[in-house]
Amino acid sequence: MSLSSGHRRDLNEIRASLAGLTVETKLLRIGWLLSQKYDPDQPREPAGQLGGGRWTSGDPTAAGPLAAGDDPETTGSIGGGSAPSTTQEEVVTADGSRVLSIRIRSNPHAEWDEQHTVTAPDGTRTVFETSGLTQTIRDGGSGEILSRSRLTTSGAEPEAFFQSARAPQRLPRELKRLSDRILQAAISLFTTEAIRRNRDGTAIFAAPASEYIPGDAFNDRAMWVGAVSQRELDRLCPRNAEIQALAKSTAAEVRALGGYGTEQNFGNIVHRIIAHKIKSMKDPGLIAEVSYAAETGIGVHYSSGQSIRLDVLEPVRPSTVCVYDHKMGKAILRAVRAVDIITAIQKHYPGMRNYIMIEVLEK
């Protein structure tokens, strides 16, 4: 028997409510654990010395600082069973944003659930909650859900969520500011995840399909940022392993030869060799070292002013393109460049629905 439009609407609302309750439960668990062990006034090691800024027990007889990410497991449990474990880490990005990351899992065999709070230099907070492949973005002040998406083989797809009738009705210009704020916070989180080289998985940013357009539903601009397993990455960008292996082997070759002088020159040499190797393959599935005009997205010569040079592109489907940004040595992807890359790609590929950004590191 087919459902009436009213029944179908009710069913969708129930599904959205259940999805919201699932995330709320995860958040309550994180909050409970933090209330047991996390103190924002916990002493830190003095700045200017080894381990400066890291958490310490406050006991001068203790063995040393408590390093971020090295939290011992909690001893409490929720509803019996094995004790959940948590880790926390705080990073300050180049633009002054602070990213506080909390990871929790119910047992050693479960996947980690994550909560990342990004505090911008102006003090505004944006929270990213990830459970499996579903990510919810909240306003850090009010707790309002701003968007929810699920990472699929096609990129980030929007998911329904319950919206309170008391949620603020925003004017187009307010939505534009909100959109920009969330994008900046997402990029700060992406750059932070990318430089955590000791973490399992690879950091990706599934960017929204287009810049904000007045009248669009905000949640249709789905985005997803975080670390994924190699299997998930292979589904999204099938040639990622090939590209990363090429970058690492090329960097090792240049290191072994020496004579490159500065680290910046080393990076330039590696980029040129990678581009030459890919172009010599004459493979239409890979595009190396192209430059697009920042304003229009039109292809230009790499030396042109106001242009954005991209390392490697992998158009994998009619609707998705993977963007690889190589970083050699201690170089990091800065938020401003990430925004420029995404903007140029959006303009050059206006028909695409998903842009997946991957930072390729030397090691």
Q: Where are the domains of the chain?
A: 5-46+54-72+82-234, 237-361
Cα–Cα distances (Å) from 139 to 159, 169, 185, in that order, read: 17, 14, 11
Taking every pair of Cα atoms in the chain, the longest distance, rounded to a whole number of angstroms, is: 75
In the predicted model, is pLDDT for residue 44 greater than 60? no
Identify the top-confidence range among 39-48, 300-309, 313-322.
313-322
Question: What per-residue confidence (pLDDT) applies to 43?
Answer: 45
Of 29-38, 84-93, 132-141, 319-328, the least confident: 29-38
Closest C-alpha among 104, 91, 98 to residue 36 = 104
Give the list of residues 6+ apart from residue 119 with CB closer than 8 angstroms, or none: 97, 98, 99, 100, 125, 140
Write down the pLDDT at residue 121.
93
Place of tokens 């750059």: 191
pLDDT of residue 117: 96
**Residue pLDDT, tens place only, 313-357:** 999 877 789 999 988 877 777 777 887 888 888 888 877 778 899
- Partners of 327 in the β-ladder: 361
**How far is the CA of 43 from the CAs of 53, 59, 103, 183, 197, in angstroms?**
9, 9, 21, 33, 26
Q: What's this model's pTM, rounded to 2 decimal places?
A: 0.68
For residues 185-196, average pLDDT: 86
Return d(Cα 219, Cα 109) in angstroms, integer.
33
Check residue 155 and give its pLDDT: 84
> What is the dihedral sign for C-alpha 43, 126, 165, 171?
positive
**Average of pLDDT values for 233-241?**
93
Rg (the chain; Cα; Å): 22
Say which residue, 13 or 68, is predicted with more confidence.
13
Would you say residue 60 has pLDDT above 70?
no
Q: How far is CA 167 from the centre of its chain?
A: 26
| Residue with more model confidence, 179 or 224 | 224
Helix boundaries (H) for the chain? 5-37, 172-195, 230-236, 240-257, 263-281, 335-348
Instruction: State residue 294's pLDDT score.
Output: 78
Q: What is the mean pLDDT of residues 63-83?
A: 37
Q: Are 136 and 23 in contact (CB under 8 A)?
A: yes
Fill in the DSSP letter of residue 62.
S
97, two tokens: 């944003």
Q: What is the b/e burial string over 218-228, where b = at least 16 CB atoms within 10 angstroms of the residue's CB?
A: ebebbbbbbbb
pLDDT value at residue 24:
45
The reported pLDDT for the residue numbered 31 is 43
Q: Which helix (H) or strand (E) holds 221?
A: none
pLDDT digits (tens, 9 = 90+) for 154-184: 788 888 877 665 666 666 677 778 888 888 8
Question: Which has the minimum average pLDDT: 34-48, 106-120, 274-288?
Answer: 34-48
Res 42 pLDDT > 60? no
Alpha-carbon distances of 157 from 102, 130, 179, 215, 221, rounded to whole Å:
24, 14, 17, 19, 9
What is the pLDDT, as a whole number, of residue 48? 45
Q: Is the pLDDT of residue 227 over 90?
A: no
Mean pLDDT confidence for 16-27: 48
The chain-wide mean pLDDT, for the chain, equals: 75
The residue with greater pLDDT, 149 or 61, is: 149
Phi/psi of residue 269, nearest 5 degrees: -65, -45
Compute the half-sphere exposure of residue 37: CA atoms within 13 Å on the CB side of its CA.
20
Residue-level pLDDT at 305: 74
